[in-house]
Chain A
Amino acid sequence: DAGVIQSPRHEVTEMGQEVTLRCKPISGHNSLFWYRQTMMRGLELLIYFNNNVPIDDSGMPEDRFSAKMPNASFSTLKIQPSEPRDSAVYFCASSLESRGETQYFGPGTRLLVL
């Protein structure tokens, strides 16, 4: 199994530009999570999906952030317009919807907004 796949691995963009991060969860997993990691705030859950449906998006910082999961094998996290304070590592994780199931994290996308 290839694990959770994220792309791109690194992204450098200028303030005001649109950024799209992509995630392919592990095949068969039906829960998908987007996290943001910074030195100041640690690991924060932004949004999670169950069976492609957003369940909790209370962690999404503001309207500039949006996430979609059009099918079981693909999700996107979009930032429009991007700001320097959005610079962070963004992780996608997936799991099976059951008690105590492990969340498997992808390698992350390191985003730098200039």
Chain B
Amino acid sequence: QQQVKQSPQSLIVQKGGISIINCAYENTAFDYFPWYQQFPGKGPALLIAIRPDVSEKKEGRFTISFNKSAKQFSLHIMDSQPGDSATYFCAASVDNYGQNFVFGPGTRLSVLP
């Protein structure tokens, strides 16, 4: 029940296209959902996060869509660029100050020039 599922495992998109990564969870106690971006040889870095009281959050070209009833959330990258090529992790936590995240397995995104 603590698991966060993520798909696809890898994704190839042409420059200018839309990248979509999906995540699903079971634990209804989760109430904080961040996305982390990791470049090769670097640690993950927070990209964008959402709480279940909203269905969508947008920051620049990055949008999180959240479906509480389906227990699913997704990351959309609009106008994908080669510089977006990285591994993306969704995560979930019970936002009780401890920030004990459960991470999805990751999606390796390649944006072709």
Bound-state Cα–Cα, A31 to B93, Å: 15
Main SS of the interface on chain B? loop
Contact B95 A42 (CB under 8 A): no
B43 adjacent to chain A (CB < 8 Å): yes
In the A-B complex, the 4 residue pairs with the smallest Cβ-Cβ separation, listed nearest first, are A105-B43, A43-B103, A42-B105, A102-B46
Question: Are the C-beta atoms of A95 and B99 separated by less than 8 Å?
Answer: yes
A106 and B43 within 8 A (CB): yes
**Which residues of A are at the interface with B, using a C-beta cutoff of 8 A?**
4, 31, 33, 42-45, 48, 50, 55-56, 91, 93, 95, 97-108
B97 touches A98 (CB 8 A): yes
Q: Can you identify 11 A-B contacts, CB atoms within 8 angstroms?
A: A4-B43, A33-B99, A42-B89, A42-B105, A55-B98, A55-B100, A91-B44, A97-B98, A106-B43, A107-B43, A108-B42
Chain B residues near A107 (CB-CB < 8 A): 41-43
Q: Which B residues are CB-close (under 8 A) to A97?
A: 97-99
Q: Beyond A42-B106, A43-B103, A105-B43: 5 further Cβ-contacts under 8 Å?
A: A95-B99, A97-B97, A99-B95, A102-B46, A105-B36
Instruction: Judge whether B45 is part of the interface by a CB distance below 8 angstroms.
Output: yes
How many positions in chain B have a CB within 8 Å of any CB in the partner chain?
23
User: Inside 8 A of B105's CB, which chain A residues have their CB?
Assistant: 42
Distance A88 CA – B95 CA, assembled complex (angstroms): 28
Write the residues of chain B forming the contact surface with A, with a CB cutoff of 8 angstroms: 32, 34, 36, 41-46, 49, 51, 89, 95, 97-106
Residues of B contacting A105 in the complex (Cβ-Cβ under 8 angstroms): 36, 43-45
Cβ B97 vs Cβ A48 within 8 A = no
- Nearest Cβ distance between residue A35 and chain B, in whole angstroms? 8
Most chain-A Cβ atoms within 10 A of its Cβ — which of B44, B104, B105?
Answer: B44
Q: Smallest CB–CB gap between B17 and chain A, Å?
A: 26
Q: Is B32 a contact partner of A100 (Cβ separation < 8 A)?
A: yes
Query: Is A56 a contact of B98 with CB atoms below 8 Å?
Result: yes
Contacting pair A93 B98 (CB below 8 A):
no
The interface residues of chain A lying within 8 Å CB-to-CB of B99 are 31, 33, 48, 95, 97, 101, 103
B46 adjacent to A100 (CB under 8 Å)? no
